[in-house]
Amino acid sequence: MTAANISPISLTSNAGVTAHSLFVCKTCASVWQDGKRIGESGGQKLLQQIQELAQNWDLRDEFPIEEVECMSACNRSCVVAFAGQGKLTYLFGDLPVDGCAEAVLECASKYYNRPDGVLPWSERPEPLKKGILARIPSL
């Protein structure tokens, strides 16, 4: 197959909706001993809570949840990020392991519905108001 025969990957669905991802660090809030992780990390717990709630989330098919080994914000764990083609990318940290999964999905829904991805502070759920680590411009 030559380069001319390779079609680019489409980042939009058939309906023209922009592709999105919710990244969740599964290494966050780990306990380490002798260079090895002990037990289940806080990030894994948060990821499981988000995945469980997302089973009934109306955007579960349009906004996939992706586990990430590390997002290099270890001193600000737990960490999640929202990304969408042509939108700002948001990185949130300092999230509690328990009690914020619903807020993450609520904020992801707001992000999804904004063409530019802008998430005004006043419209974010409480756990995501204080923990903003980065707002990265789109490509």
Show Cβ contacts of residue 112 under 8 Å, excluding neighbours closer than 6 positions: 20, 59, 62, 63, 84
Length, in residues, of the chain: 139
Model confidence at 39, pLDDT cuts 50, 70, 90, reads confident
Give the model's pLDDT for residue 33: 86
Give the model's pLDDT for residue 49: 96
Residue 138 pLDDT exceeds 60: yes
- Model-level pTM? 0.83
Mean pLDDT, the chain, rounded, equals 87
Residue 5 pLDDT exceeds 90: no
Specify the residue for token string 């995501």: 128
Report which of 84, 91, 77, 72 is spatially closest to residue 44, judged by C-alpha positions: 77
